[in-house]
Structure 1
């Protein structure tokens, strides 16, 4: 009889400990993600065109050459985790050679027409391929989030973004 009570008490204690642990961990996983918070932005990247076809964003001009790209995406979480995958970001002929001339870029988060934070520079191959996973400082309130891809050596322009420009994107592979 004494063994049965001991086992029952241990089983009840273990179940209670598991329940308390689950409730304590619930806020960390409330949005279904283990870290980084809610998804703030999950969008495709589009190569920029010279103004006025691509907009000025937060006082940052589109590059002077037309850029095209293959399937490219960016995801930013409220907690600051940012993932960028760029494929085939190049200047096409006749203005370019179809090769990317920029060795490294940064991804800059813009919130409500204000540049908020940038990733560390990351490599972009001659074929226009590159990726990064980084953590940036996301403002508590980020209205109308946009991500710009900028040459690491020239933050006055962007060469790709998550904004829509005035041209049709059909046939650009993104």
Structure 2
């Protein structure tokens, strides 16, 4: 009888230990959906340049007045509102240059723009980095990051997505 109880106790200890060891890894990787997760990434995507033929997004945000192309860009949005954007070579297709000296990022959730960052410097070669925190709604369904020339949230020259 003691042997059976001892084996049961050892088995329970092993199960408990494995459960405790595995749990922190799940929390650290953002796999736990409830009870915090403020730093959990909700969007990590490439950035594409806008085209004049692109449709208005969310019914109000129009593409820039010229076609834009990008060498490399990515945007990351976290549940706590942290926005990180890096673009390299976001320039006009026609000239290969960037005539805009300031850039901001707008975040859309649930089919509408909900926040816009402050402007950052935007180089003539089309390079910029945005690190900001915005306020997101309680639920942010289908998040999108838009890049706005001169901080104008009604126009986008870059958007999360891929070019064909």
Bucket of the pairwise TM-score, normalised by the shorter protein = 0.7 to 0.9
CA distance in 1, matches of 2:50, 2:137: 25
Structure 1 residue 153: deviation in Å? 4.7
Deviations 1:61-106 (A, max 9, x none): 111200000110000000111110011000022xxx2110110011
Counterpart of 1:145 in structure 2 is: 143
Gaps of 5+ in 1: 1-25
Structure 1 residue 38: deviation in Å? 1.2
Distance 1:42 1:148, change over 3 A: same
Match of 1:30 among 27, 33, 51: 27
Counterpart of 1:44 in structure 2 is: 46
CA distance in 1, matches of 2:28, 2:150: 33
Gaps of 5+ in 2: 1-23, 31-36
TM-score (norm: length of structure 1): 0.70
Deviations 1:107-151 (A, max 9, x none): 000012211111111111000000021111111101111110001
Distance 1:56 1:31, change over 3 A: farther
Structure 1 residue 32: deviation in Å? 3.2
Counterpart of 1:70 in structure 2 is: 71
How many pairs align?
134
CA distance in 2, matches of 1:137, 1:107: 13
CA distance in 2, matches of 1:153, 1:84: 14
* Structure 1 residue matching 2:92: 3-state secondary structure: coil
CA distance in 1, matches of 2:70, 2:148: 14
Higher strand share goes to which structure?
2
Question: Runs of at least 4 residues of structure 1 off by over 4 A?
Answer: none
Task: Compute the RMSD of aligned alpha carbons.
Answer: 2.0
Counterpart of 2:155 in structure 1 is: 157
